[in-house]
Amino acid sequence: MTEPTTDDAARVSNWRLLFGNPVTAISVVLLAVIVVAALGAPWLAPSGVNDVDVPNALQPPSGAHWFGTDELGRDVASRVLAAARASLLVAVVSVAFALVVGVSVGLVAGYRCGWLDTVVMRCVDVMFAFPVLLLALAIVAVLGPGLTTTILAIGIVYTPIFARVTRASTLGVRVEPYIAVSRSMGSPHRYIMAHHVLPNISGPLIVQTSLSLAFAILAEAALSFLGLGLQPPQPSLGRMIFDSQGFVTLAWWVAVFPGAAIFLIVLAFNLLGDGLRDVLDPKQRTSAEAERNR
């Protein structure tokens, strides 16, 4: 029987610390339920997403329609499931784009320094000068609304965040002794960045990814609310809230359930990000362990 290694013990400690916080554990369970429901939307939806039934318009929640019906008699529960699926798709793909591009740019800039770092970070500062939503609106206005454009716009506006986080972490790691040893052994810069720098800055990037997913959900909902995100007949949480404005006093459910879906998804990602920060940030980890052992 083999003895547990130090890495195994550290991994077990990380999981215990992560799930030792009840709020984080609840957020993981909530996020898992949301993802399963979104992925299973085609099978879980009680009826067709765009099935119009005008005689049954604005029906309150019931056994036949869990979340009621909208102004065209469409099932709100089916549309919320489909819209949540679309929102998660936009968030995951756009944040993945921002992660790949931002990390690549920030890693090279922070590792090489010099004029390259100056030029890259000044470009990042220019992008930071624009509000996120305003920049996304400008991109969508130029390229036209739609799923692909929404993903591209959100990915572009969140790329500078990952670039700045990566660069700041790289500046701290590049001066470590093991980097100097690897250089003295003749290791290529690409190898050092991929095998020594990147693994040691993964903690802040994981936390930033979780938080960016939450903000991407909000950005997609805002764009769709303004009519520049996902286009009908594709349901969107933001568009559903926009369409419900004239019926809120008559049928509260047409606005409450899409809004609640946005709230729960964003809350789950934010709480997960806080939990990951407690595990991956040494300062936060020390405080969390001391609080747990008290």
% of the chain exceeding 70 in pLDDT = 88
Query: If you average pLDDT over every residue of the chain, what do you get?
Result: 85
If phi over 0 gives left and psi between -120 and 50 gives alpha, with beta otherwise, what is residue 57? beta
Least-confidence region, from 24-28, 101-105, 251-255:
24-28
Q: Would you state the pLDDT for residue 294?
A: 56
Query: Tokens at residue 92, please?
Result: 């995951």
Using alpha carbons, select from 114, 112, 159, 109 the residue that is nearest to residue 132: 159
- Count how many residues are written for the chain: 294
Position 191 pLDDT exceeds 60: yes
Read off the pLDDT band of 18 (50, 70, 90). Answer: low
- Higher pLDDT: 215 or 284? It is 215
Q: Would you state the pLDDT for residue 290?
A: 44
Q: Would you state the pLDDT for residue 133?
A: 86
Q: Would you state the pLDDT for residue 182?
A: 87
Which residues face 155 on adjacent strands?
none
Mind listing the pLDDT tens digit for each residue in 238-292? 999 999 988 888 889 999 999 999 999 999 999 888 888 777 665 554 454 445 5
Read off the pLDDT band of 96 (50, 70, 90). Answer: very high
CA distance 34 to 225: 21
- Higher pLDDT: 210 or 281? It is 210
Position 93 pLDDT exceeds 90: yes
Mean pLDDT, to the nearest integer, of 161-185? 89
Position 4 pLDDT exceeds 50: no
- Higher pLDDT: 6 or 15? It is 15
CA distance 226 to 52: 24
CA distance 157 to 90: 14
Position 27 pLDDT exceeds 80: yes
Q: Would you state the pLDDT for residue 156?
A: 93
Place of tokens 């206005």: 141
Mind listing the pLDDT tens digit for each residue in 45-90? 888 888 888 888 889 998 888 899 998 999 999 999 999 999 999 9
Q: Would you state the pLDDT for residue 19?
A: 64
- Higher pLDDT: 23 or 253? It is 253
